[in-house]
Structure 1
Amino acid sequence: MDYGIEDLIIPVDGSDHAEAAVRFAVRLSRATGAELHLAHAFPGSVQALMERIGTQPGHTSSERMTAEAFEALRNGSARRALQRARQQLEPDQTASEHVLDGDPAEAISAFVGDGHGVQVVMGRRGLGRVRELLVGSVSERVIHRVPGPVTVVTAGHDGGETDDGHAEPLVVPVDGSDSACRAAAHAATVARCTGARIHLLHAFPGSPQEVPLLSGDLGGSADVGPFAEEAFAQLGDDSAREAFDSARDTMADTGATGLDIVEVRRRGEPAHAVLDYLREIGPAEIIIGRRGLGRVQELLVGSVSQKLLHGARCPVTVIG
C-alpha cells in the first residue's frame, strides 16, 4: 500500500475558510513535496444554478439570464475565488487552477478520482446561499464521497507550529478498527515529513453504566448482567492494548521510522474525550477514521468523526 501524499486538492470559494485551507495545504506541501491544485466548483448551467439557490426551473429570473450572462457570472466567481486563494501561496510556490462544473461535492469527488496519493483540504463552510454552490457546507458530503483523506479547516484555526517552533501534534483516536489503523498510517506519513508528535488516543467508558447498549459483544452472551468493576477495567485494558498495537503495527508498515509516539488513555465518550484532551495540550490536528467497529464498539471511535467535525475548531482530517 502506498501511503505517500502526491497531490493536494483545495476547493476554494473566496471565503475566509477556504483561504485557511489554502494556508494549511501550503504548509503540508512544503513538508511533503505534494503538488497544489486549486479547484473552484460552479453549476454547469443556468438551470442548475437556479436549482442550487432555490429558484424553480421556469422562474422568470432563470428565463432572463442569457448564456453570456451566465458565463460572465461563472468566470467572475472563479476569478475572485482563485485570486484570493492565490494570495495565500508563498512567493516561490505555484498551484494549478481548475474550474469544475456541477454540484461541488460531486465535482470535487470526480476530480479526485480514485484518490491514489490525493488529499483534499477544504474550508469548514463557505459564504452561504449562492456561494454554498462553491464549497460551503459541502465538506461532509465530500468526506463521504472521496476515498482518501479529507482535511476540514476553520478560519482562524488553520494549524501551523507550536510556540517552540515544532509542528503541531497529531491526535489520532484509535479503536483497533481498520479505519482507525488507516488514520494512524496517514498520521505516520505526515509525521515522517513534519516531525510532529503522534498522540494515539483510546477512549473507553469509565463504568458499565456508561455503556447504553451493553450486549453479548462485550459479555459473551446476549443476556449480560452487570459487569464487575474489575472485569470491566480489564476489558478496557485489553481494548486499549489491542488498539495501540494495531495502530503501531500499521504505522510501521508505512516504513516511517523514528516517530515520536505517545499513547493516551481516557475514560468516557470518545468525542468528548478527544475535545477535552485538545484543551489540555493546545493546538493540534485530529486525524480520525470515518468508521469504527460499530454497535457497542462505536463507544470507541466509530462515528465520532462527525461529532469532531462539528465540535473541534482545529483542522480535522478524516480518512475514509
Structure 2
Amino acid sequence: MRALCATDLSAASEAAIENETCLECLGRIGVETIHLVTVVPANVHSGMPGVNFEGRRQQALDQYRTVIESAGFDVEAHVVRGTPYRRINGIAETIHADLVVVGSRGQSPLENRVIGSTARNLARTTVVPLLVNRIERATDEPEVLREHLFQRVLFATDFSEHADRAFTAFSYLHHATEEATLVHVRSPKDEGLDVDISPQEQLAEHANTLESWGIKTRIEVLQGDPADEILAVEADVQPSTILVGSKGRSRIRRLLLGSVSEEIVARATGNVFLVPPPRAV
C-alpha cells in the first residue's frame, strides 16, 4: 500500500509525520511506501525578504525522510506549487495512493463555519480514503491526540452503498483494530419506512464479520441528528478513529457545507477516516 502524507512544515505536521506509534499503525495495515508532499502556496516565493523557505523546507523534508525510513518505509518526496488540496488530490491520483494522511489541529465552533482549511477541503474533494490525524491545538509543541490510529474504531453507517464501501476498509484496518463500535442513527425522516431487516440485525451482521477477525464489537442504534449522535458516541467511548463513508458530490455541491461526513471531520475530537466513492470515469 502507498500512503501520501501531506505536510505544511508546521509543528503540527511534524507531530503527525514523526510519531512512531502512528507510523507503526500505518505499517500494520499494510503501508510500505510513504510519499511526502509539501505544497508551496502560489503567493510564497523563495526570494521574499526574511523568508528562508528553501532551506527550511529542505531541512524539514530531510528530517521527515530520515525518521520514516528508520521506521522501515520507502520514502519519496514531492515539492509542488499551487492550491494545497488540489495538488494533494492530483498527486494522490498520479501515484495511485491507497490513502492520504493530513494533520489537523481542529477548529473552534466559530471557525467550523468557515471554509478554508486544507483538511476540510480534502474532505469534500478527496478521491482516495482520507485520514484526518487530529493534533493538539493552542500549543507550540503539539502532540498527536490519539496515536493508536485504528486500535478503537467507531464505524457510523446509514446502510447506504457509501457506508458499505467504508466498512470494506476493515479488510485492512482490522490488522490494527482491537475494538469497534458500530453506530446507526435513525433520523425523523426514517419513521414509517418499511425495511426487511432491522438496523440491529444489519449491525449484527457487520459485528459478526469483525468478531471473526478477533475484534471486540458493540452496536448502537440511536435516534436524532446523525452528526450530533455520532459525535456524542465518540465523546462516550473515546475511539481512536471514526470511520465513515462520504457521498459523492458534483463540482458545485462540493462548495457547500452540510453533509454528515463533513460535520464529523470538522467537529470530531479524534481522528477521522473518510472513505469516498470511486471517482467517476
Q: 1:246 to 1:145 in 2, by over 3 A?
A: farther
Residue 104 of structure 1, CA deviation: 1.0
Q: Secondary structure at the match of 1:160?
A: coil
Bigger fraction of residues in helix: 1
CA distance in 1: counterparts of 2:229 and 2:58, whole angstroms:
42
Corresponding residue number in structure 2 for 1:131? none
Unaligned runs of 5+ in 1: 1-5, 51-64, 127-135, 206-210, 219-226, 293-301
Equivalence for 2:203: 244
Aligned-residue offset at 1:145 = 3.0
Q: Secondary structure at the match of 1:49?
A: coil
The aligned amino acid for 2:166 is A
For 2:118 and 2:231, the matched residues in 1 are separated by: 23
Normalising by the residue count of structure 1, what TM-score does the alignment of the two structures yield?
Answer: 0.64
Query: What residue identity is the alignment partner of 1:33?
Result: G
Rounded Cα–Cα distance in structure 2 between residues aligned with 1:116 and 1:245: 34
Cα RMSD after superposing both structures: 3.5
* Conserved? CA contact 1:18–1:85, under 8 Å: no
Q: Residues 12 and 85 of structure 1 are in contact (CA less than 8 Å); yes or no, is this contact kept in structure 2?
A: no
Per the TM alignment, residue 304 of structure 1 is displaced from its structure 2 partner at its CA by 1.0
How many angstroms apart in 2 are the aligned matches of 1:42 and 1:196? 39
- 1:271 equivalent in alignment to 2:251: no
Q: 1:69/1:110 Cα in 2 relative to 1: closer, same or farther (>3 Å)?
A: same
**Offset, 1:309:** 1.2
TM-score if structure 2 supplies the norm length?
A: 0.72
Q: 1:75 aligns with which of 47, 54, 68?
A: 54
Q: Give the Cα separation in 2 of the matches to 1:274 and 1:150.
A: 19
What secondary structure does 2:147 align onto? coil
- Equivalence map 1:162-201=2 (5 Å): 168-191=151-174, 193-201=175-183
> Partner of 1:287 in structure 2?
243
CA distance in 2, matches of 1:19, 1:243: 41
Distance 2:206 2:267 in 1: 24
Do structure 1's residue 98 and structure 2's residue 78 form an aligned pair?
yes
Which structure: greater strand fraction?
A: 2
1:12 is aligned to 2:10: no
Distance (Å, rounded) in 2 between the aligned partners of 1:289 and 1:101 = 30
**Paired AA for residue 146 in structure 1:** T
Letter in 1 for 2:272: V
Percent identity of equivalent pairs? 23
Q: Which residue of 2 aligns with 1:202?
A: 184
1:121 maps onto 2:101 in alignment: yes
Q: 2:40 aligns with which of 39, 42, 54?
A: 42
In structure 2, the partner of 1:29 is 26
Structure 2: distance between partners of 1:115 and 1:97: 12
> Aligned-pair distance for 1:38?
1.3
Residue 197 to residue 237, structure 1, CA distance change in 2 (3 Å): farther
Greater mean alpha carbon deviation, residues 171-180 or residues 95-104 = 95-104
| SS class of match (1:273) | helix
Structure 2 counterpart of 1:159, which letter?
R
Distance (Å, rounded) in 1 between the aligned partners of 2:26 and 2:269: 22
Aligned match of 2:147 in 138, 153, 160? 160
Task: Indicate the SS of the match to 2:25.
Answer: helix
